[in-house]
């Protein structure tokens, strides 16, 4: 005999827990921000009522925007701090954003923070245009972004900003440094100088420094004493300190997180008449842990910035289909695996 007791739904759970249907949906779909206390009340109410999600309805909801569907009126915001969004000069992250957005049928509106006097003005514009998907170019920790996070599904592209605590797509910096050191060891180098640029962003500095300490420990165990890890600023004022470290350490190869030491080594007379130019390769080998488009012969690690932009758009697209907006309780972090690219600056060493 069929039971006349109605099945529990969002409405009955909302009544039982004393919250709104929207809040119940956020908890049960794990989307958007809900306080720990409210989340507990909703889940306990759902348990008491015997609520069970319907997988068929969930699949139907996910098919509202099936693969290949093109949301022709949807717009994604790309917030940056003054980089060029020109088709040729645009950074690779933005090129990836534009490519993937076009494939999915989105328009991309760009917003430079240099053009807005306050965040309230930017919030009003985004809200007035009905924009819910927001991509943010990574900022240094010293820059504070004050968006109304509850209105948007937001993804940072690049090192996460600890103040924002939103979703993030970035390169796997620890893997990049590991691949660079491994390439040096595989080619016979045993005294490896690690030079880490100060990125003024915890999301970059922390993984690089943590991995550098780990790599140096392994090198000392397997290859003997190693140079001290150098942290530098990419300015001419720091060049004398770099030369002093290089003379005292005498590394066989320099692994740097920025291209600047390459120019210091090959154009030393410009900064310090006592330091002769070094030949790369020849006097010393060199590896950079990011792309070096101006010097094609450099061995480097490709951080795949375009793929970061593409994956950020995919993440926004997937979550907007489920109505996921607001500041997350647990931010997602997607690490894009880098790829080592061989180059003339790292020849095999003759033992």
Q: Give yes or no: residues 129 and 53 share one domain.
A: no
Q: Which pLDDT score is estimated for 85?
A: 61
pLDDT at position 55, please? Answer: 53
CA distance 181 to 110: 38
Q: Within a domain: residue 240?
A: yes
36-50 as b/e: b if 16+ CB within 10 A: eebbebbbebbeebe
Distance CA 231, CA 19 (A): 52
Would you call 279 exposed, middle or buried from its count of C-beta atoms within 10 A (0-12, 13-18, 19+)? exposed
pLDDT for the residue 169: 92
SS (H, E, C) 46-100: HHHHCCCCCHHHHHHHHCCCCCCCCCCCCEEEEEECCCCCCCCCCCHHHHHHHHH
Q: What pLDDT, on the 0 to 100 scale, is given for residue 87?
A: 55
- Asked if residue 273 and residue 157 are part of one domain, the reply reads no
- In which domain, by residue range, is 289 found? 173-303
Q: Are 68 and 32 in contact, with CB atoms under 8 Å apart?
A: no
Same domain for 230 and 261, yes or no, is yes
Separation between Cα atoms, residue 7 and residue 318, nearest integer Å: 29
CATH of the domain at 137: 3.40.50.2300
What pLDDT is recorded for position 225? 94
Tell whether 199 and 286 lie within a shared domain.
Answer: yes
Do 317 and 199 have their domain in common?
no
pTM over cut 0.75? no
Check residue 150 and give its pLDDT: 79
Question: pLDDT means per 10 residues in the chain (351 residues)?
Answer: 65 86 76 71 85 57 47 74 65 88 86 76 82 80 69 81 75 95 95 90 83 95 95 88 91 93 77 60 87 82 92 87 77 90 88 62
Pair 106, 45 in one domain: no
> What's the number of domains the chain is made of?
3
Instruction: Report yes or no on 16 lying in a domain.
Output: yes
Look up residue 189 and give its two tokens. Answer: 């180098």
Same-domain pairing of 97 and 127? yes
């Amino acid at each position: 005999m069929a039971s006349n007791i109605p099945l529990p739904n969002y409405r009955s759970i909302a009544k039982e827990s004393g919250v709104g249907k929207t809040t119940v949906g956020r908890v049960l779909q794990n989307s958007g921000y809900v306080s720990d206390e409210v989340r507990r009340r909703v889940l306990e109410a759902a348990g008491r009522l015997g609520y069970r999600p319907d997988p068929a309805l969930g699949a139907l909801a996910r098919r509202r925007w099936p693969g290949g569907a093109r949301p022709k009126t949807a717009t994604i915001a790309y917030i940056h701090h003054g980089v060029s969004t020109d088709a040729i000069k645009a950074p690779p992250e933005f090129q990836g954003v534009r490519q993937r957005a076009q494939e999915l049928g989105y328009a991309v509106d760009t917003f430079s923070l240099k053009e807005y006097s306050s965040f309230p003005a930017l919030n009003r514009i985004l809200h007035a245009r009905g924009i819910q998907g927001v991509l943010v170019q990574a900022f240094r920790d010293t820059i504070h972004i004050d968006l109304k996070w509850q209105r948007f599904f937001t993804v940072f592209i690049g090192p996460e900003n600890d103040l924002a605590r939103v979703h993030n797509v970035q390169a796997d910096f620890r893997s990049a440094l590991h691949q660079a050191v491994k390439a040096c060891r595989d080619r016979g180098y045993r005294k490896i100088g690690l030079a880490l640029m100060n990125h003024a962003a915890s999301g970059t500095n922390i993984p690089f420094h943590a991995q550098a300490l780990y790599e140096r420990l392994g090198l000392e165990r397997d290859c003997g004493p190693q140079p001290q890890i150098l942290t530098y600023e990419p300015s001419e004022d720091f060049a004398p300190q770099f030369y002093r470290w290089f003379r005292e350490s005498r590394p066989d190869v320099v692994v740097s997180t920025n291209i600047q030491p390459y120019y210091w080594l090959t154009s030393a007379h410009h900064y310090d008449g006592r330091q002769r130019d070094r030949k790369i390769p020849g006097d010393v080998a060199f590896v950079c842990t990011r792309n070096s488009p101006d010097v094609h012969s450099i061995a480097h690690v490709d951080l795949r910035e375009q793929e970061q932009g593409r994956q950020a758009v995919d993440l926004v697209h997937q979550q907007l289909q489920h109505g996921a907006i607001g500041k997350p309780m647990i931010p997602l972090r997607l690490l894009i695996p880098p790829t080592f690219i061989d180059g003339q600056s790292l020849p095999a060493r003759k033992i």
